[in-house]
Structure 1
C-alpha cells in the first residue's frame, strides 16, 4: 500500500521472508486440531491493495473452520498433501498443484483427513466494485507446458486488482529475467533459488523462500542447482 510522510508517498523496496518459525494455532477459526501458520508479507508493506501473504500447515486430522471474508478476496495454492475444501457448502477434494479462488463473500474451510501434512500458500487482496463472482478450482499441473510452467489470469475471478498467478519451472543452471509490471511475490516451492534485484540486493534460499518486489523492478531468478529444476509460484497484483 505504501506510506505517506509529509504528503509524500514513499515506497517500500524488496521484502524477503521464509517459512521457518511457524506459530502453532489450535482450533483455528472454529476448526479442529493443530495448524501451523506464518504471515510472510503484510500488505501495508506492499505496493497495491494487498492484505497479506501467508503460509499454513494443517496437521493430519486437523481443519480450519468454515468462514466468510467480508473485506478481502483470497487464493489458496496447495503446495503438498491432500485436503477437502468446503466452498459454499460443497465439499471439494484438492491436492498439490490446485489453485482455489475465493471471491468476496465465499464461505470456505479446509480439512486434512489424510495421514500427511497439508501445506498451502495464501494471498488476500482487498476487493473492488461489484460482486456475484463464483469460486473456482484450477489444477495448474494439468495446464503446464512441457517446460513445467503455466500462467493463470486472475482478473476474471475477482473484483480486486489481481493480475496473474504463475507456476514457473527453471531448468538447472538457467534463469528467468524480467522487469516487474505489477507488484509481485515470488515463493520457492522446490529447489535452490538465487534472486538478484536491480543489481542492489541478492536473496538466496530453498523451499519456502519468499521475496516481494515492487513494480518497475529488474530481477533475475536463477536456479543455483546443477542437476535439478527450480519450481516457484509468483502472484501479481496491480499497484495503486
Structure 2
C-alpha cells in the first residue's frame, strides 16, 4: 500500500489547556487535506483517507477515528478483523457493504458493525463518491495483550451475522451483544438553527462528526467551529455546549474508558 499526501495535508489539531494538560477537545479536524492511498486492503484504485484521532489523543481503547472516501467503482478491499471491532457509517453515496462474502446495499445513514472474526469491505456502486466514517476499537482481549506484559492470546471468535442499521431511522444504536470493547453507542443529534444542547459523559469519550450544517462547540473556555465534515473528540469528564447556527446534524459515538481510568478522572 502506498500513499500520496498532498502538500496541504494537516495533522489533527489537539488543543491543550493551560499547564500542558489535555483540553476538553482531544482533537479537532476536517477532511481537508486528506491523503490519497493506493491499494487499501489489497484492492486496486485509490482511497482518500484522513485520521482524526488515535491512541495518542484518546484514553479509551480506541485504535483510530478516521474518514475515508472512494470514487465511483472504487473498492475498500475485503479483510478479516482478528483484533479490533469497527464501525462503518456511510455519510454520502451508495454502495455495497461486503460481509463474509455477502453484499448488502448501503447508503447515507447505514451503520455497519463488524466484530472480530468477520471479513468486511465496501464497494462504491454509484456515480458519485462514497464517503464513510470509521471508528476502530480494541476488543478486551487485544487491549489486555497491548497493555500488559502477560503472554495472552486472544484468539479469533466465530463469525456472526451481518449487523447493519439505518441510523437515520433508529436514531440511537447500542452495540450490546455485538461489541465487547469501548464503543458502546452511536446516535444522531439534530438541532434547528438557534437550538443548543450539551454533549459529554463522566466515564466516556465522545467522537462527534458533523454530517451537515454549521455550529459552535464550547467547553472550558475553548471553542471549536463546527461545519460539514468536521470531526471533534471530547475528553471524558468534560461537557461541551453546542449551538446550531444553521440546521445541524451530528453523529455521536460513545467510547467508554476502562474502569480504572474512569475512576481516576
Q: TM-score range by the shorter chain?
A: 0.7 to 0.9
RMSD: 1.7
TM-score w.r.t. length of structure 1: 0.87
Cα deviation 1:115-172 (Å, max 9, x = unaligned): 11000000000002584454400011222xxxxxx21112322121222111110111
- The residue number in structure 2 matching 1:206 is 227
Aligned ranges 1:111-190 → 2 under 5 Å: 111-129=123-141, 131-132=157-158, 133-143=160-170, 150-181=171-202, 182-190=204-212
The list of structure 1 runs, each at least 4 consecutive aligned residues, that deviate by more than 6 angstroms after superposition, is none
Whether contact under 8 Å (2:200, 2:234) holds in the other structure is no
Whether contact under 8 Å (1:44, 1:50) holds in the other structure is no
Cα deviation 1:97-121 (Å, max 9, x = unaligned): 1000000121011111211100000
Cα deviation 1:8-54 (Å, max 9, x = unaligned): xx973322111110111122111132210111111331021000001
Whether contact under 8 Å (1:54, 1:121) holds in the other structure is yes
- The residue number in structure 2 matching 1:230 is 248
Does the residue aligned with 1:156 lie in a helix, a strand or coil? coil
Label 1:174 to 1:72 Cα distance change in 2 as closer, same or farther (>3 A). same
Alignment length, in residue pairs?
221
Whether contact under 8 Å (2:90, 2:131) holds in the other structure is yes
Cα deviation 1:34-87 (Å, max 9, x = unaligned): 210111111331021000001001101110111012221100000010011110
Whether contact under 8 Å (2:200, 2:206) holds in the other structure is no
Distance 1:162 1:25 in 2: 26
Label 1:22 to 1:50 Cα distance change in 2 as closer, same or farther (>3 A). same
Does the residue aligned with 2:169 lie in a helix, a strand or coil? helix
- The residue number in structure 2 matching 1:3 is none
- The residue number in structure 1 matching 2:145 is none
Does the residue aligned with 2:140 lie in a helix, a strand or coil? coil
Whether contact under 8 Å (2:88, 2:111) holds in the other structure is yes
- The residue number in structure 1 matching 2:104 is 92
- The residue number in structure 2 matching 1:39 is 51
Does the residue aligned with 1:29 lie in a helix, a strand or coil? helix
Unaligned runs of 5+ in 1: 1-9, 144-149
TM-score w.r.t. length of structure 2: 0.79
